[in-house]
Amino acid sequence: MASVFYAPGGLAAEGMILIEAVSNDTTDNNNHEWKRPWELGIIGGLLFSTVEGDLTETHTYIPDFHAGVYGNVELFYPLGLRVEMYYVGLGTGFASLGDSKLHFNYLTVPAMFTYQFRPLFQLEVGPYIGVLLNAKDQGDDFKEDITDLVNWLDVGVKIGIRYELSQVVDIGVYFNRGFINTQRGDRVSQFKQYNQCIMFTTCVSITEMLNK
């Protein structure tokens, strides 16, 4: 309920309008509710990845994709928890080696805290863990399995912003950075390189589709 402050002449009326507007805006924010206390859905999209670290001056971003599932749980407004599990293709290109590319395929599970800082917008940040499925060194006329040369574990952080297009569809952009050396065996002592990618994600809520 807005308080009324009296002032000479028309200032009182103008003051009442301003105070009521601020009060109503605050009330709207305080009364905001999540779509649902929990939600399940599918995710997928395009990404661009590379590796950063030693001897990566000529490395380039390469496109790939990710696809999987997610779950959202409300903690207390405006905070929530989001857990994802998806297949993701990472890797890097080489500006000095033409079409040669390294491809690292992982099963990845991020667990992120979400913060709804504005209606329809959520900031998300948290750790992820990835398990290597396979790795290849590939070009136009060759393909070599290099799984034994790549670390089987990838751990890092994922941060991004998600926007609610509708009750069913969200879109988001994320930055992932690994903290564990992708090299394995004798190569670990020679140099350190870490996965890095920019992800463009579309989220489709199965929960909302089934409840329409």
The pLDDT value recorded for residue 33 is 57
Residue 179 predicted with pLDDT over 70 = yes
Average pLDDT over residues 132-149: 92
**Taking residues 158-187, what's their average pLDDT?**
93
Higher pLDDT, 129 or 9: 129
Mean pLDDT of the chain: 85
pLDDT band at 147 (very low <50, low <70, confident <90, very high): very high
Q: What pLDDT, on the 0 to 100 scale, is given for residue 35?
A: 63
For CA atoms 121, 75, 111, 45, give the dihedral sign.
negative
**pTM greater than 0.75:** yes
pLDDT > 90? residue 155: yes
Which pLDDT value is given to residue 19? 41
**What's residue 95's pLDDT?**
78
DSSP string of 120-145? TEEEEEEEEEEEEEEEEEE-SS-EEE
d(CA 143, CA 164): 41
Asked if residues 176 and 48 have their Cβ atoms less than 8 Å apart, the reply is no
Q: Would you give the distance in Å from CA 15 to the centre of its chain?
A: 43
Q: What do you get for the CA distance between the two ends of the chain, in Å?
A: 35
Span 65-113, pLDDT tens digits: 999 999 999 999 899 999 999 999 999 998 776 678 999 999 999 999 9
Quick one: DSSP state of residue 56?
-
Residues 6+ away with beta carbon under 8 Å from 28: none
Average pLDDT over residues 124-153: 94
Query: pLDDT tens across 25-71, in order?
Result: 444 444 455 567 899 999 999 999 999 999 888 899 999 999 999 99
